[in-house]
Amino acid sequence: MRLRAWVRGERGLQTLEWIALALVALALLTALAIGLRQTEAGPGEAVSAAVSALFRCLTNGADCPVAAVGVGKAGSCLAQPTACLRRWEDCLLHGACAGADPENLLGLLPWLALVGIGLGGGLFALLPPSVPRRRWTWPRITFPPPRVPRGRPILPFRPISVRVPTPPPKPTPTCPSSLTSEPAQVDACAQELQKYGIYIDPRNWKLEEIHLILRGVKRMGEAMGGPENMKRAIGGVFIDRRAGGGAETYAFWPHPPWKRIVIGEATLHQEPAWRGEVAIVHELAHAWDMQSANLLQRISGRPGQIVREMIKFIGEEPGPTCYGGLKSETCPPKWRVGDPKEEWAESVSAYLYPEYIEFLRLTSEKEADLRPLHRSYVERQFNLARQSANHTNR
């Protein structure tokens, strides 16, 4: 192990380099001595003659000077390596194997060894010596010994349990009933809407408007059996306000919670005040039906499963209002055609707000009414919302 470590070390590699250089120098001196022994000329003429003979051997295929040192009987490949290589090239590539003796290939081994030794020695001489690297270790941190007064024994460490009093929990802000409150209480009203799957930006709403939305949402949530049931049925919707225009529900919105309701101030602030709640419930009924539709139906604006089944269930029964499929002669002409989606939304509004129908009867819509088939179908959907929650809890 010590010899192996010494060879792999810096001193061992340098020693091997010196030995290799000494062997190369010894081989050159030996070749020079052999060349001088075989000729009567001076040293300069002998060296030049040997170099000339070597070039003639490699270029013209003449006999190499190795025959002059007593190795001429080793074979033709030893004396004429280039000619031997050409014969074997013709044999392997062109099929002309005449004169290619396999035993003569042994004569190429000294030449291959000479070339290998030369290339290996050159590469070995050019490569930088490897320097061993030390392995990195974590630094050792030494702590000074504790100062203990003389004559006082060192007692073993004993952990001391200290009871830290836990601070009382902060009271969670609740949605205030008054219309003048702090921003934190406004955020609390927005968080209460999130329990029902309704999301708003409190910065864009007044507190009285949030109270209006919350009243309509709570009435719809109670009919479904609680906030969780409503959140599951609607699937989440973001409500935003705008200065002008009416109300509109987008079945697909490229941002969570993927549905959006935009309602104008004129639609939100009506007389009496509960009519704004009816507008909120109307748009939430659209979101309820959209939740029962697939993605393609939502993007294309087609009705969901709830509206499609309602069309089959009610048959030819008129809707509750002129805007919701009443199709009466007293209704405006643009509403006489009817829209199944609006008929469903108006049926939900009339079911949750009976005063809505009474209010319309005092106006020009004398025939406004939530008829038996429409009422039965809406009750069925609310019951299904409650039953699906019960199955989920089981």
- From 10-14, 195-199, 215-219, 263-267, the region with the lowest mean pLDDT: 10-14
- From 71-85, 107-121, 333-347, the region with the lowest mean pLDDT: 71-85
Q: Kindly report whether the peptide bond that precedes residue 153 is cis, defined as omega within 30 degrees of 0.
A: no
In the predicted model, what is the mean pLDDT of the chain?
A: 77
Residue 365 predicted with pLDDT over 70: yes
Classify burial at 152, counting beta carbons within 10 Å of its beta carbon; exposed 0-12, middle 13-18, buried 19 or more.
Answer: exposed
pLDDT of residue 299: 87
**Pair 272, 309: CB distance under 8 Å:** no
Q: Dump pLDDT digits (tens) for 30-59.
A: 655 555 555 555 555 555 565 565 555 555
The residue type at 324: G
CATH architecture of 183-393: 3-Layer(aba) Sandwich (3.40)
Q: Dump pLDDT digits (tens) for 159-200.
A: 566 676 777 766 666 777 665 556 777 888 999 999 999 999
Residue 81 predicted with pLDDT over 50: yes
Residues with Cβ within 8 Å of 57's Cβ and at least 6 positions away in sequence, in order, are: 63, 64, 65, 80, 81, 82
The residue type at 229: N
The token duo for 140 is: 């050792």
Q: 197-203 long-range contacts, Cβ below 8 Å, gap at least 24?
A: 197/227, 197/230, 197/231, 197/232, 197/234, 197/235, 197/236, 197/237, 197/257, 198/236, 198/237, 198/239, 198/284, 199/236, 199/237, 199/238, 199/239, 199/257, 200/238, 200/239, 200/240, 201/240
In 3D space, the residue among 74, 66, 83 whose CA is nearest the CA of residue 103 turns out to be 74
Residue 303 predicted with pLDDT over 70: yes
Residues spanned by CATH 3.40.390 within the chain?
A: 183-393
Mean pLDDT of 303-307: 96
The more confident residue out of 139 and 153 is: 139
pLDDT of residue 72: 43
The more confident residue out of 129 and 123 is: 123
pLDDT of residue 252: 83
